Amino acid sequence: MTQSEGAIGPASSADVSASLPVDPTASPAATDQPEPPHFKPLQLPSAPFWVVLIAGIAAVLLVAAAASALFVFAIGIALSFFLVPVVNRMERHMPRIAACILVVIASVLVTLSVLVLLTAILLEQGAKFLDALPEMLDSLQQTYQSMDLPSWLTSAINDHCDSGCATLFGE
């Protein structure tokens, strides 16, 4: 193959690399590695972002601080959501004020009856608990005494129990 044929025919990779200029300061391994991408520095969030973030945190803290008061409003909203349709339906047969009064009276009666029922259940269960308490305490004491605990742990438990009894019973 003559030199004129090489110029006309396809060039090999050796021919191309030989024809490129070589940087004498670059090492062979450095030319093989691609250069890492350059990233722009991260911009800080704008002032409106900080205002919204601080306002959001303040709103969450305010709601958390007022949660007990907001609970009452939430109950009121739920009651109105469920009771307004009842009043609207009763309004077909009587004036709206009479329907409102009847719904309020019915709601109070239902609430009081549920409270009375829950109080009766609580008192019954409390009496049964108080009757069974001495047996439970005896069983607990027997279990505690049958355990093979180290003396330092037994003395620490006894000290805590004595201080708890002194606090409860004023001894």
Digit-coded pLDDT (tens) for 3-36: 544 455 555 555 555 555 555 565 555 556 777 7
Compute the average pLDDT of residues 36-57.
Answer: 86
* Single-letter code of the amino acid located at 21: P
pTM over 0.75: no
Of 8-12, 42-46, 85-89, where does the model show the most confidence?
Answer: 85-89
Residue 166 confidence (pLDDT) = 83
Residue 47 confidence (pLDDT) = 87
Q: Do residues 1 and 11 touch, judged by C-beta distance below 8 A? A: no
- Measured from the Cβ of residue 155, the count of other Cβ atoms closer than 10 Å reads 11
Token pair for 144: 């505690």
Residue 52 confidence (pLDDT) = 95
Q: What share of the chain is helix, strand, coil (3-state, %, to 5)?
A: 75, 0, 25
Residue 9 confidence (pLDDT) = 52
Confidence of residue 119 (pLDDT cuts 50, 70, 90): very high
CA distances from 152 to 15, 121, 136, 144, 161 (A): 88, 43, 25, 14, 14
pLDDT at 106 over 90: yes
Compute the average pLDDT of residues 160-169.
Answer: 85
Residue 41 confidence (pLDDT) = 76
Which distant-in-sequence residues (6+ apart) come within 8 Å of 70 by Cβ?
63
